[in-house]
Amino acid sequence: MLNSLSKVVTGFGFLLCWVSAQADLSIEITKGVKSGLPIAVVPFSWEGQSRPPHNISDIVAANLARSGHFAIIPKKDFLSNPHTRKDVIFKDWRLLKTEALVIGEIKQLGANKYQVEFRLFDIFKEKQLAGFRYTVGRKLVRKVAHQISDIIYEKLTGESGAFNTRIAYITKQSTASGSTYKLKIADSDGYGPVSLVTSREPLMSPAWSADGRKIAYVSFEHRRSKVFVQNISSGKRSLVAQYPGINSAPAFSPDGRSLAMTLSKDGNAEIYVMNLATR
């Protein structure tokens, strides 16, 4: 293992973030732009018998609001509820000082298949900025909502969205018998949390690989810090660092082949890079 490590720079730092396990994960934006862009997300029309398991327009609106870059126009203020291009009356939305409008349609194609179509408009230019149609299964409805959110975000801000991603976080639950720590992953909005690791000892510093298939993290099993890399789909994990002293702050290289860590095996806390294939 020593031969696969390269020292990078002296220094030490780590981030510990625990979320209470008493309630669902809540993501709060504490600071955004001074004045968010006014945008209206009209409830998508529905045609079929069995409704999708998730409300796509509500998810899109919540994503945009949570970004801090948009001011969502309340539904109660809508003067109309268009679902197609010909239904859009631009002057109605200008009266509400709306700058962007999202409309859409959902049609059921089969027992568990849906067609989802959305359009994004610039109200003042009376121009369509984006429009896509998806055919998806029941389990991918939320994913489509996040993809739509990403497209809207990029078109209106010029930056890539990150709604169609996942987050990793640590929870801590304390009882009379002690504390339980869990490493969890969820959608970017906190939906669908899944526990990957449960421990009676602290967990910290989860870090994703670029392809989203692995997570590196620090565990204090047996009361000493260790760095593990875990495969998300299989659940298999590998111990990559358990040197004397500090083993902390893992971070994958962009290609996923190397892992940077803070180690104090030689005395001082320093950053090392490990080749995961030859460790």
Contact indicator for 99, 39 with CB cutoff of 8 Å? yes
Determine, yes or no, domain membership for 27: no
Determine, yes or no, domain membership for 246: yes
Domain count, the chain: 2
Which element (helix H / strand E) includes 8? strand 5-10
Determine, yes or no, domain membership for 28: no
* Parallel, antiparallel or unpaired: strands 18-20 and 166-175: parallel
> In angstroms, how far is the first alpha carbon of the chain from the final one?
4
Instruction: Output the six-digit token pair for 37.
Output: 């862009």
Determine, yes or no, domain membership for 193: yes
201 and 139 fall within a common domain: no
Grouping H, G, I as helix, E, B as strand and the rest as coil, residue 26 is: coil
Determine, yes or no, domain membership for 44: yes
Answer positive or negative: Cα dihedral of 146, 152, 153, 159: positive
What is residue 6's predicted lDDT score, i.e. its pLDDT? 66
6 and 53 fall within a common domain: no
Residue 102 CB neighbours (<10 A):
23
139 and 206 fall within a common domain: no
141 and 244 fall within a common domain: no
Per-residue pLDDT of the chain (279 residues; tens, 9 = 90+): 444 666 664 433 333 334 444 445 555 555 555 579 999 999 999 999 888 999 999 999 999 999 999 999 999 999 999 999 999 999 999 999 999 999 999 999 998 999 999 999 999 999 999 999 999 999 999 999 999 999 999 999 999 999 999 999 999 999 998 999 999 999 999 999 999 999 999 999 999 999 999 999 999 998 899 999 999 999 999 999 999 999 999 999 999 999 999 999 988 999 999 999 887
Answer positive or negative: Cα dihedral of 267, 268, 273, 276: positive
218 and 183 fall within a common domain: yes
Q: In what order do the strands lie in the sheet with 178-187?
A: 18-20, 166-175, 178-187, 194-199
54 and 134 fall within a common domain: yes
110 and 136 fall within a common domain: yes
Give the pTM. 0.81
Distance, in Å, from the CA atom of 83 to the CA atom of 73, rounded to the nearest integer, reads 16
What is residue 26's predicted lDDT score, i.e. its pLDDT? 59
- CATH number of the domain residue 138 falls in: 3.40.50.10070
Distance, in Å, from the CA atom of 232 to the CA atom of 213, rounded to the nearest integer, reads 6
- Residue that finishes a domain, picked among 93, 127, 157: 157
- Residue that finishes a domain, picked among 135, 157, 179: 157
236 and 142 fall within a common domain: no
147 and 216 fall within a common domain: no
74 and 134 fall within a common domain: yes
Determine, yes or no, domain membership for 106: yes
Helices (H), ranges, the chain: 56-67, 90-95, 141-157
Distance, in Å, from the CA atom of 262 to the CA atom of 225, rounded to the nearest integer, reads 11
- Residue that finishes a domain, picked among 109, 138, 157: 157
Determine, yes or no, domain membership for 41: yes
184 and 148 fall within a common domain: no
Structural domain that includes position 94: 37-157
170 and 271 fall within a common domain: yes
Query: Which H, E and C letters describe 218-258, residue by residue?
Result: EECHHHCCEEEEEECCCCCEEEEECCCCCEEEEEECCCCCE
Torsion of CA 188, 190, 192, 198, to 10 degrees: 110
Determine, yes or no, domain membership for 142: yes
- CATH number of the domain residue 171 falls in: 2.120.10.30
